[in-house]
Amino acid sequence: MADVRLVRNAISFAGMILATISAVLFVVVFLADLFGWHTNPYLGIVFFLILPAFFIAGLLLIPLGAWLERKKRSRGKHPSDLRWPRFDLNDPTQRTAALIVAVLTMANVVIVSLAAYRGIEYMDSVQFCGQVCHGVMKPEFTAYQDGPHSRVTCVQCHIGPGASWFARSKLSGTRQVFAVSLNTFSRPIPSPVQNLRPAREVCEQCHWPEKFHGDKIQRVFEYAEDEANTESGTTLDVHVGGGSERLGIATGIHWHMNVANEIEYIATDDKRQVIPYVRLKDRFGNVREYTAEGVTPDQLAKGERRRMDCMDCHNRPSHPMAPTAEKAVNSAMAQGEIPKNLPYVRREAVKALKATYPTQAAADEGISRAMREFYRTQYQQVYMTRRQDVERAVTSAQNVYNRNVFPEMNVQFGTYPNNIGHMDFPGCFRCHDDNHKTKDGTKISQDCDTCHHIE
Ligand code: HEC
Ligand code: HEC
Ligand code: HEC
Ligand code: HEC
Ligand code: HEC
């Protein structure tokens, strides 16, 4: 260290140049980022993950070069030369050298910590999760953007606070980066997520389970396949409930499922859709075991045992996708995106959406062609006078497709089951099917009014 001249060698020089260039670039981009000038998520990978690596490599090359140089110089000389260098601050050259080294080291520490901080922050951003591995996370990222949690970052649910989850996520993240680079990941990405953090540590950071929600009024619209797209509706008072005995209000789905009772189940398929065994421990400590007819102890032993939590019902809280083309078109019509009074629009939109397309781009074209063709040939008058409505119907149908179907990821309508409800997927009826019984014949009830009142 004493002899600054030791760094006058090719390796150290290369290190210095590498470190300086990456430090300058990094500081520039960091400032730009601080003032909000950069938006491309891919730049982030280069600037916040790769540049710092170059910077550190550069820094390491400097002492490496010096050390090799020292070895070279001492080769063949007297061993005493290999003693620790003598360091003398009275020598002006050495003093300057020490000062330079100290200042540069401090600057380097600042840069490396900034880089580490920004790199971690960047890896936790929605951009990184949702866009960098573009095609891979596209279904979830697209659905997420207009879900109820679009201001909650991916990592708030998928990783959550704490060092151990951070480390685990980085380990599995590294595996995922390999899977993406080698193109070995599965399409679609399987759900449920194994080892997702327990709901208590995720959802309950923001939602207090004992909060009383009362009834939620849910109005469901349907449209027929006739010329008038005849509308019909069902109104459900869903008894969401919740609360606690302490506060005096304790009823409904949340109270029974989440507050009063501890429920465990065994699922025998990997999507947790087949649940032949349920164990209930109520708040007085009474235990009840329900088994589905015909299941064998052997099947149960092979299944996955799990304590039921928020995500067993709310398994698509953030990236919901429509279960069927019909339902997706119904809600686009109910929201007025697809004009309700365009003849046969419900039937035609569903038909166009259900065709098979190799890519989203091909779907855009196919949907547009099919729907335009229908009105042009069958409803010339409408096609001439209400061109704008036809165009709006086409655009909305395309949006429905692009929001729910991702051919490149093998994601179709209904690929991911939603466990809230029971019409399109087993959902609540995985257990509430009157077929799960205790030894004394008690059933998990399918009585419609326990969960909602239909008007
Ligand atoms: C409000 C919490 C929440 C947020 C925010 C969230 N997720 Fe999820 N995510 C979940 C839950 C819950 C599951 C499914 C868990 C299960 O069934 O085991 C899931 C499943 C997934 C899956 C597995 C495949 C699937 O669709 O089921 C992927 C991939 C995924 N999320 C990506 C993302 C990305 C990318 C973001 C951010 C753009 C994000 N998630 C934001 C809660 C969330
Ligand atoms: C970082 C805070 C945060 C976390 C974590 C979080 N949520 Fe939420 N959640 C919210 C907010 C804020 C809203 C209200 C959004 C609105 O009203 O637009 C919300 C809304 C909801 C809704 C109502 C959706 C609707 O359509 O009205 C449900 C259900 C829900 N969250 C379930 C969950 C579940 C299940 C989890 C755990 C997987 C979870 N949340 C995790 C903040 C959070
Ligand atoms: C037995 C299934 C089940 C479990 C378990 C469950 N919920 Fe719900 N939750 C529902 C249903 C059903 C609704 C109403 C229907 C809907 O939102 O579409 C609901 C509604 C909600 C709402 C919206 C309330 C409103 O008035 O809009 C929030 C927030 C919520 N749940 C959070 C949670 C959290 C957090 C947990 C875990 C502590 C949880 N839920 C556990 C079934 C469940
Ligand atoms: C893993 C199995 C399982 C699933 C899935 C499930 N439940 Fe339940 N549910 C139970 C058990 C067990 C009980 C307790 C039955 C009892 O008290 O005898 C129960 C009780 C209830 C009760 C109270 C019933 C009463 O008689 O007072 C409501 C309400 C309820 N569940 C709603 C739902 C809703 C809504 C869903 C779907 C979003 C759902 N459950 C999904 C197992 C399940
Ligand atoms: C274990 C609880 C439970 C039971 C029992 C139950 N339901 Fe439901 N039902 C739900 C939930 C949860 C939803 C979804 C509500 C939402 O979307 O917010 C739902 C939704 C519905 C819908 C609207 C479907 C749609 O297209 O969105 C209808 C209709 C319905 N139920 C009818 C019935 C009838 C009829 C029975 C009696 C045979 C019944 N349900 C029993 C929990 C239950």
Q: Evaluate: CB of 191 within 6 angstroms of ligand 1.
A: yes
pLDDT of 291: 95
Query: How many angstroms separate the CA atoms of 336 and 314, rounded?
Result: 27
Beta bridge partners of 231: 223
What DSSP line would sit under 419-447, residue for residue? Answer: -SSSSSS-GGGGT-SS-EE-TT--B----
Q: State the average pLDDT over residues 54-60.
A: 91
pLDDT bin (cut points 50, 70, 90) of residue 134 is low
With a cut of 50, say whether residue 1 has pLDDT above it. Answer: no
CA angle in degrees (0–180, nearest 5) for 122-126-131? 95
Beta bridge partners of 262: 281
Query: Looking at ligand 5, which atom is closest to the CA of residue 222?
Result: 26
Q: Is 262 helix (H, G, I), strand (E, B) or coil?
A: strand
pLDDT bin (cut points 50, 70, 90) of residue 79 is very low
Q: Please indicate whether residue 447 or residue 80 has the higher confidence score (pLDDT).
A: 447
With a cut of 60, say whether residue 15 has pLDDT above it. Answer: yes
pLDDT of 388: 95
pLDDT of 428: 96
pLDDT of 220: 94
Lowest average pLDDT, out of 4-13, 405-414, 446-455, goes to 4-13
pTM of the model: 0.84
Ligand 3 center to 28 CA (angstroms): 46
Q: Please indicate whether residue 387 or residue 41 has the higher confidence score (pLDDT).
A: 387
Lowest average pLDDT, out of 35-44, 111-120, 358-367, goes to 35-44
| CB-based contacts of 380, cutoff 8 Å, min separation 6 | none
- C-alpha distances (whole Å) from 138 to each of 178, 197, 408, 411 are 18, 22, 10, 10
Q: Evaluate: CB of 253 within 6 angstroms of ligand 3.
A: yes
pLDDT in tens, 213-226: 889 999 999 999 99
Domain boundaries of the chain, sorted by first residue: 4-123, 128-185, 215-314+429-454, 325-409
pLDDT bin (cut points 50, 70, 90) of residue 371 is very high
Which uninterrupted H or E stretch holds 115?
helix 92-123
Q: State the average pLDDT over residues 169-174.
A: 66
Read off the DSSP letter of residue 148: T
Please give the sequence-ordered ranges of beta strands (E in DSSP) within 131-286, or none if there are none. 215-223, 231-239, 242-244, 249-251, 262-267, 277-281
Q: Evaluate: CB of 152 within 6 angstroms of ligand 2.
A: yes
Query: Looking at ligand 3, which atom is closest to the CA of residue 258?
Result: 5
pLDDT bin (cut points 50, 70, 90) of residue 80 is very low
Instruction: Return the best residue to mutate from 126, 144, 145, 149 for the ligand 2 pocket (most ligand atoms within 8 A of CB).
Output: 149
pLDDT in tens, 383-429: 999 999 999 999 999 999 999 999 989 999 999 999 999 999 999 99
Residue nearest to atom 38 of ligand 1 (CA): 141
Instruction: Return the best residue to mutate from 219, 451, 454 for the ligand 5 pocket (most ligand atoms within 8 A of CB).
Output: 451
The residue type found at 382 is V
pLDDT bin (cut points 50, 70, 90) of residue 279 is very high
Q: State the average pLDDT over residues 28-46.
A: 65
Instruction: Return the best residue to mutate from 200, 204, 213 for the ligand 3 pocket (most ligand atoms within 8 A of CB).
Output: 213
The CB density around residue 321, as the number of other CB atoms within 10 Å, is 22
What is the share, in percent, of the chain residues with pLDDT greater than 90? 48
Query: How many angstroms separate the CA atoms of 254 and 213, rounded?
Result: 9
With a cut of 90, say whether residue 194 has pLDDT above it. Answer: no
With a cut of 70, say whether residue 174 has pLDDT above it. Answer: no
Q: Phi, psi at residue 146, to the nearest 5°?
A: -115, 25
With a cut of 80, say whether residue 14 has pLDDT above it. Answer: yes
Residue nearest to atom 34 of ligand 3 (CA): 310
Q: State the average pLDDT over residues 10-31.
A: 85
With a cut of 70, say whether residue 169 has pLDDT above it. Answer: no
Q: Please indicate whether residue 155 or residue 230 has the higher confidence score (pLDDT).
A: 230
- C-alpha distances (whole Å) from 426 to each of 120, 173, 291, 294, 432 are 40, 32, 17, 18, 10
In the predicted model, what is the mean pLDDT of the chain? 86
Which residue has tokens 């150290």? Answer: 12
Q: Which bin fits 67, alpha (ψ -120 to 50), beta or left (φ > 0)?
A: alpha
Q: Which two tokens stand for residue 19?
A: 């470190």
Q: Evaluate: CB of 266 within 6 angstroms of ligand 4.
A: no
What is the share, in percent, of the chain residues with pLDDT greater than 70? 88
Ligand 2 center to 321 CA (angstroms): 16
Residue nearest to atom 1 of ligand 2 (CA): 152
- Kindly tell me the sign of the dihedral angle through the C-alpha atoms of 403, 409, 410, 411: negative
Ligand 2 center to 169 CA (angstroms): 22
Which residue has tokens 């901080």? Answer: 117
pLDDT bin (cut points 50, 70, 90) of residue 2 is very low
The residue type found at 361 is A
Beta bridge partners of 219: 235
Instruction: Return the best residue to mutate from 240, 251, 253, 257 for the ligand 4 pocket (most ligand atoms within 8 A of CB).
Output: 257
pLDDT of 78: 52
pLDDT of 202: 85
The residue type found at 236 is L
pLDDT of 36: 62
pLDDT of 426: 95
